[in-house]
Structure formats: C-alpha cells, structure tokens
Amino acid sequence: MTKKEKKRTRNIIISAVLTVIAVLLSRIENLHPAVSAAVYLLAYAASGLDVLLKAISGIRNGDVFDENFLMAVATLGAAALGDFREAVSVMLFYQIGELFQSLAVNRSRKNISSLMDIRPDTANLETEEGLVETDPEDVPAGSVIIVRPGEKIPIDGVVLEGSSELNTAALTGESRPRSVSEGDDVISGCINTEAVLRIKTTKEFSDSTVSRILELVENSSLKKARTEAFITRFARYYTPTVCIAALLLAVVPSLIFGSWKQWIHRALSFLVISCPCALLLSIPLAFFGAIGGASRSGILIKGGTDVESLADIGTVVMDKTGTLTNGTFSVSGVYPADGATEDKLIRCAAAAETYSTHPIARVLREYAIGMDLPSDIAEASETAGHGVKVRSSEGVILAGNGKLMNAEGIPYTPTDMSGTIVYVAADGRYLGFIRISDTLKASAAEAVRMLKTQGVKCVMLTGDSENSAAAVASELGISDHRSGLLPEDKVTHVETLITDAAGKSTVAFAGDGINDAPVLMRADVGIAMGALGSDAAIEAADVVLMDDDLTKIPKAMELSRRCMRIVRENIVFALATKAVCMILGAFGAAGMWSAIFADVGVMVLSVLNSTRLLRKTE
C-alpha cells in the first residue's frame, strides 16, 4: 500500500468503529441524542473530511460538479435532515470504494512500473585515469564502457571484447537468453549474465533503446481512446444535469405536495445514485490494464486509441523479408549442369564473388569456406542487377542472373524455383545454378493460423520476385499476396485496403520498422516487428513487438478485444443500473442504501470487471 492508501484505510477503520459506537449509544435509553450525534459527527469527519476539502477546492477552482461535490452535498444534506447514520454510511462506503479502486489501479500500474526496472542507474566508463562509475546520461556516444556479469547494459553499442549471454526478458517477455560476442550490436536494458563485456557506445543515453521504450510507455496514457474521451465529455454535461434534476426533484414536488423533508431526502439519494465514479474510474482502468498487461509480454501499445484500433482489425498486411522470414539468406540448393561437378560449381561461384560486397556474395563465400579457390582472380567487374565477371585460371567466370548469361551469350537452362538464383559459367561453359533463399520464422505459420481463426484476412506484400513470394505465401497459406513492390507501392496497396474496409474494420501493417516506416505510418495500426534498437520502428509504429514472435499480433488483438468488451460491459451495466435506481429513487422506491449500492456497489463491480485484464495474457 502507498502512504495515501494506508491513511485512507486508517480513517475508514476509525470511522467504522465510531459508527458502531454511535449506533450502540443511540439504543441506550435516557441517553441524550446529542451524544450519539456527536460520535456520528466524529465518524463523518474521519471518513469525509478529505472529500469536503476536495469539494471546496473544486468550487474555488471552478470545477464544481465532480464526485466530491455530489458526495458532500448528499451527505451534508442527510445530516442536516437528522439522518446521521445514513450520512456517515454513504461517506464510509464511498471511501471503501475509492480505496478499492486505488488498489486496483496500483496493481495495474505494477505491470508498467516493473518495466521501468530496465533503466540502468550507472555506467562503467573507461577513461585515461581508469574505470569511472558515472550516470549513463553523462556518457557521450563513441565512449567505451564495461558491463560486468549481473549488470544492465546502460547504452546501445557494439561489443569490442568478450562474449556472453544477455537476458532480454524485461524488453521482450522472452526468457531465452541471447548470445553476443565481438562485433555484435547490443541494446540497453538487457542484463549481462556470464562474462565481462567491453562495449563501444553508438548512441547517447537519451537516444538509446531503453530511454525510447520508457518514454513510449510513460506517455501511453496521454493518447486517450475515443471511448475514454467520450466518457470525459459525457461526465462534463451529465453531472450538472443530474444536479439540476435533483434540485428540481427537491423543490417542485415539495411546492405541489408538501413534505419538504421527504422530497429533499429523495433528491439527496438521487444525487448519490447519479455519481459517475464507476465510469470515470473503470473505463481508464480497463485501457490502462490492457496496456500494462501487453507490456509485460513485450508488446508496447502507444495508447488507448491503438487498443481500440487493434480490437477492430479485419485485415493484417505483412511484409515478407524480415517479418515473415528471418531476413538471413543461405544456400538452399546446388544444381550442377550436365558434365559439371557440384564442387567446381561452388568454387567458381565463390571465386567470382571474391570482391563483391553484395549480401548474396557473402553467402556464397561463406558456403565455400575450406575449398581450394583460384588465387589468381583478376579483372573483376560487377554490373548492378546482373552479376559479376572475373578472370582466373579457370578462364572467365560469370556469376549472376539470367540477364548476365544472355548478355555474355552463354546458353543456360532457366529455372522457375523460388528464391534468388545464381547462374554460373566458366570459360564459356554453363556450370549450373545455386539457389539462395530466406527461411521462414518459426512463428510465421502459427501466427497466420491464429489470425485466420480470429476471422482476420492475411495479405503479404514484398519487393521480391513473384516466384519467391508465391512460394512463401503458399507455404503459409496466404491466398492474397503482391510481389515486386517498391515502398510507395506498398503504401498505395494499403490505402486501397483501408478504403475498402472503411467503416467496417481497421487495417494493420506489420513490418520490420526500418524500410517500411512510410506504410507503418499510413496503416490504421502500424505494428513494428522485432524492433529492438530500431528508432524508425518506435517512431512510426503504433504497436511495437520487442521480439520476432509473430504470434504476439493475434495475442495483442485478442487482449484489445477483451478490453473493449469489458469497457462496453461497464458502460451498459453502470448506466442501466443508475437509470433504474434514479427512477426508483425519484418515486421513493429506493432509499439511501439503494443509492449506496448504485454508486459504490456499481463502481466496485465495474472496477473488478476491469481488473480481469490484469490476468496473464499469454
């Protein structure tokens, strides 16, 4: 409990004890009623003094019509009519409800505050005088820091010396450690678990991953959902309206029928019933709980508006490379031509790629490690979009696509296999081809299946060839795909989907957050995949998944739908119950105790309903 909650609990206990004493005193014969009334007054002061002070403060600041004002008027009015027990009871139960909702909010806040533990307190900076412990904010980019086992990495950087395992659970929700060694990029917020790492920082602390994440989570409450904004506007007009209605209920019937005390009592009950606490507390708590629960699983949702949009998704558009696939290429097949050997095909391909900086060239060179490659490579040239040409003891070696073979007049046999195809020729003779392909992420197929189960349409967009796109789409069971797209083509296609779905559902785009920033921003919901350390992803996306687990997309959608169901349940339940009780109260069929249920009881039940979102989301 916080200090404020402990104080409220103490006041509630004191007030409850004094109330019991006052009730017992009121039953003693020949005891003057003023004695029990005085004890009731002390009980009221213990539970209601802070409410009265807040009501007075609100009046001074021009914010008159809030729940404190309603409670103050209702309870003071009841006391003025001599109903001391009801006045104290209303205030006491109101404070119990306030304490309950405070505990519920703090429980929700723990999910987010636990994420704040990723912020490192110090950094071990290498200086000419030796190792100096300093604030991470004082470490400039390009500095060298030391991270010992058990310490958090304070700033993004690259490993200069050492190899270790990093615990990324606080960022990703994933318990599996990540291995790093010399030359690997590391991000702030991870915990070094095994050996000392010497790291060169690549950013300042304010631009590092941990700072960006904390800023994102801390500001999530600023983006209020449409439902939250509606409830706030609703309360602004609702509260003055019910105050005027209560005043009319007290005055008009009294002028017509008399019985001022009876109608004033009904008006006071009407005021207690009308208090909008249930809506004002439970609705934001539901969104807060959804955001907090998601963050615990490594899903960062930027605000309540994004929770609403996630709940309405009807189409999920996914990039292929880096999102559905790992984005790392490898040799998936070697196919020598008639009369050629696999060994010669690989050696010539690797030799041709000796001086190329293309990613495909690196894959071929790594694949040929340990082979006896020609050492007399000369006259190397590379043509963008075609391939490479070199001269060696094997003659003129060509490695590239069909365009290169045609340009050099080499007869070859084209293939319709998916992936990147490298045709190879040496000394005017076609040697065969090597197939290089990307690999699907382990979670891709399951994520697509889960989305389909939820009735969501899956679309794949890629800049790759049609053969490669069709193979991936077929393997994943995605019936709608587009290939050969530029970034602006992806934006155009997503805009078309948004137009088609207007008014019916929202369109989400999941990408790697670096090359897909324009379309991430254009989609109704931009979802950045595996965005650890990606500034573009955190800036452009509405939802950031802190690892490569695609199944977190349908999980985030399901959590958001649960949140919206609970919000709708709370709104309908609170308004319906209050409407019935207000009508009954106006006709005298519901007294102050019914009013207490309609206010505190409805608030407690609504808050309880909202706290269901705090259960484990995975």
The residues facing 389 across adjacent strands are 381, 398
Beta carbons of 140 and 149 less than 8 angstroms apart: no
Any catalytic annotation for residue 319? yes
SS (H, E, C) 308-350: HHHHCEEEEEEEHHHHHEEEEEEEEEEEECCCCCHHHHHHHHH
- CA separation for the pair 543, 313 (Å, rounded): 13
Question: Chain-centre distance of CA 325, in angstroms?
Answer: 23
For the chain, the residue count is 618
Q: Which residue has the tokens 């709104």?
A: 571
Catalytic choice (66, 156, 319, 542): 319
- CA separation for the pair 117, 544 (Å, rounded): 19
- CA separation for the pair 323, 84 (Å, rounded): 66
- CA separation for the pair 127, 219 (Å, rounded): 36
Q: Is 145 left (phi over 0), alpha (psi -120 to 50) or beta?
A: beta
- CA separation for the pair 281, 232 (Å, rounded): 11
Question: Chain-centre distance of CA 53, in angstroms?
Answer: 38
Beta carbons of 395 and 415 less than 8 angstroms apart: no
Beta carbons of 479 and 448 less than 8 angstroms apart: no
Beta carbons of 202 and 144 less than 8 angstroms apart: no
CB-based contacts of 486, cutoff 8 Å, min separation 6: 463
- CA separation for the pair 608, 285 (Å, rounded): 10
Q: Which residue has the tokens 């790594």?
A: 366
End-to-end CA distance of the chain: 27
Beta carbons of 228 and 284 less than 8 angstroms apart: yes
Q: How many CB atoms lie within 10 A of CB 357?
A: 8
Beta carbons of 257 and 588 less than 8 angstroms apart: no
- Tell whether the torsion through CA atoms of 143, 149, 155 and 160 is positive or negative: positive
In the chain, DSSP finds a helix count (H) and a strand count (E) of: 21, 22
Catalytic residue list: 319
